[in-house]
Chains A and B, each alone.
Chain A
């Protein structure tokens, strides 16, 4: 392995000639009351690449995704998407720009069928993707006419992914998609993510506790602890860093 020079900025950034900077989180801070959830965090991601976000509970991973997808407003700092400042924009406008996400606890539209769940997002998300294609891709076609609350936990996660994909995102934030899945489901979902990312050139920002899942989707990670970035680089290197190990084992 070639020793990597630790860069202070981009991690999942390929050579400038092949990839374009898609997401740039610039010195973002978020406060909840007196609690500093994110403290001067910067993350960069190029189009079509994947980046893992790891760290112990409460380190700010989900908050960072919430900021990127417009559900939480940053106190300081900026979010640039496609070199455009999108800080403070409403979530639906970000969805139209091509930013989407899945939720840690998926909240499908209860009372709607699986197909209607996807239809709503396909229509309002302006993704112009075929509902049937998305359903087939996420292997939900067989349960398409079922009510979404009847799905298993794994199927609900896939439905959340299907909903996000049908808006045709260029950046997909994935919040603990693997949690609670069986080993075979994990394999299936990781493969699915990898596949859609490559096929449609979707950049992925993946929050995940399960290293096995993460390493199938991306090689690059940012490690957060107590709202701060403590490491950025490859997953393999991260696991060799004493401070990272301490956070995971000692914290």
Chain B
């Protein structure tokens, strides 16, 4: 009945060369992202020679790490965790408890911080069954429950409860700074990998539609749990580094909802689903915060509150999308 196979089979002229162009194009974007990561590491590696305020540099790096964590969870997988700071705090306490109670060294302590946050992520992974705002608020509740657990008098023997943590036994400004730079490098590299790997494509497929993703052979539960764990590990690593740098802290310092909020805003403002977005978002907004927010936080809060409204309504895909469209128009 239908015998026009000839038009459907056979070599399609131009396919091979088109494929090569695609490959090249993809490489160019990959090269760009990798360059961003390298420049970033370079800037912070030598940062202390042109910026005396080390804590500012550390805060920038930590927020970049957290914003990238949000990027992995929301930008790639579609889950927006309002309680993301829970993993940050878990990492900070993993570091603090392992070094001060179990007397391990600083580097095993960093690993312990990551492990603790990963364990918390696995315990919370049933939350991934929830969708949209349910998930967002449930994760917030989980983070709030976690801080109450850590600061509870019953936990005082381990976490020192409300009296906070002290890491003075491993205090080392130089090594903790370098570790934070390395952590930022690892996190950025992971996002570059996600953006350019089939795994990253699978995540974005799940974000777009779960049923179609499953019918494409993707193990939706396993893939999204893995992404959730990666995202939590990033926050845990950031928390552990931060704890090492500041050395003394209280539960409220590392479980502050403001930290989650900042990370989310920075990521959204810069543009999720990209490598450069969360970095740019952090530099711009944390820069503004550093200039005016610390002295008059309420005005900064008003600005970013209104900024969220403007982003959502007018640039839901962030600065990076604006940049891309301007760049696209120029190069045409």
Contact = CB atoms under 8 A, between A and B. Distances in A.
Chains A and B in contact, CB within 8 Å? yes
Contact of A195 (B5, B208, B216): B5
Given A92-B220, A115-B22, A132-B19, A195 B8 contact: yes
B214 interface: yes
A108 B216 contact: no
A234 interface: no
Q: How many of chain A's residues touch chain B, expressed as a range?
A: 35 or more
Given A120-B201, A120-B202, A144-B18, A95 B215 contact: yes
B313 interface: no
Given A109-B209, A132-B19, A164 B12 contact: no
A141 interface: yes
B78 to A, nearest CB: 10
Interface string B208-226: 1101111111111000000
A162 to B, nearest CB: 11
A91 B211 contact: yes
Given A92-B218, A109-B204, A144-B18, A136 B212 contact: no
B216 A167 contact: yes
Interface string B174-217: 00000000000000000000000010011011011101111111
A90 interface: yes
A103 B1 contact: no
Contacts of B81: none
Interface in A36-82: 69-71
A60 B222 CA distance: 31
A95 B198 CA distance: 18
Contacts of A26: none
A241 interface: no
Interface in A74-110: 90-92, 95-96, 100-101, 103, 106-110
Interface in B1-33: 1-2, 4-5, 8-9, 12, 15-16, 18-19, 22
Nearest to A130: B15
B273 interface: yes
Interface of B: 1-2, 4-5, 8-9, 12, 15-16, 18-19, 22, 198, 201-202, 204-205, 207-209, 211-220, 273
Interface of A: 69-71, 90-92, 95-96, 100-101, 103, 106-112, 115-117, 119-121, 123-127, 132, 136-137, 141, 144-145, 160, 163-164, 167, 191-192, 194-195, 198-199
Given A95-B214, A116-B201, A124-B218, 13 more contacts: A70-B214, A92-B220, A95-B216, A107-B208, A111-B207, A112-B208, A120-B216, A121-B216, A121-B217, A123-B201, A124-B202, A141-B12, A164-B215
16 contacts: A69-B215, A71-B211, A91-B211, A92-B215, A92-B220, A108-B209, A108-B212, A111-B207, A119-B198, A124-B218, A127-B217, A136-B15, A137-B8, A160-B212, A198-B2, A199-B9
